[in-house]
Amino acid sequence: MKRLCMSELLGPRTINQLRPVRRAGLVSLLQSVLHHATSSSVEVMDLTAALIRLSNTSIMRMMASNMPKSVLEEAQALVKSVTELVGAFNVEDYVALCRGWDLQGLGRRSADVHCRFEALLEDMMRHKQEAREARRMCGEGEGEQQRLARHPAGQDEGRHGGGGEAHQGEDQSLRHGRGHCRL
């Protein structure tokens, strides 16, 4: 299964389909470097931040190419927050007296990032559902049976009435059952 997924993700067809996304990101980076170099300001450009922004933007555009800019910006902010949390020095791991106290607020920040991630996923699912309904209204979508035959994972959606509403409700009830995230 892993080989199949990797061959689909990194196959020549997928690489060629995503070439415009990579090219647009590279052109944007080069334009910003050129603009910064020709400007009269003396400040130094942070290439590390620019490259991180380029990779985040490219990955998000490849994953969710038709998402609004606000969703992409929130995803980038979320990636930055997760990276900061993962790289943070946690005193609780090294000093036994501090265990369970959350002196640095990492637990609180982690819960906040978790809630923001859930909200982002729900927003992305809502946009996907709206796009699917718009395609269905315009008649551009393929037949239900063709879609189910092509995507075996979609058979569950077909049984529940399509769109994954049943699964979304189950997910929300599980989230609210945990009690740590208010939506």
d(CA 146, CA 11): 23
Delimit the domains of the chain by residue range.
1-63
Region 49-60 average pLDDT:
81
d(CA 15, CA 13): 5
Q: Which of 35-44, 116-125, 150-159 is the least confident region?
A: 150-159
Q: What share of the chain is helix, strand, coil (3-state, %, to 5)?
A: 75, 0, 25
Nearest to 156 by CA among 170, 141, 175: 170
pLDDT attached to residue 182:
54
pLDDT band for position 1 (cuts 50, 70, 90): confident
| Residue percentage of the chain with pLDDT more than 90 | 9
pLDDT attached to residue 143:
52
- Judge whether residue 180 has pLDDT over 60: no
For 43, which DSSP code?
A: P
Which pTM value belongs to this model? 0.53
CA 170 to chain centre: 21
160 neighbors 149 (Cβ within 8 angstroms)? no
pLDDT attached to residue 112:
93
pLDDT attached to residue 173:
42
102: left (phi over 0), alpha (psi -120 to 50) or beta: left
pLDDT attached to residue 125:
86
The pLDDT tens digits of the residues spanning 106-149 come to 889 999 999 999 998 888 888 888 888 988 888 755 555 555 44
Mean pLDDT of the chain: 75
d(CA 183, CA 174): 12
d(CA 21, CA 156): 32
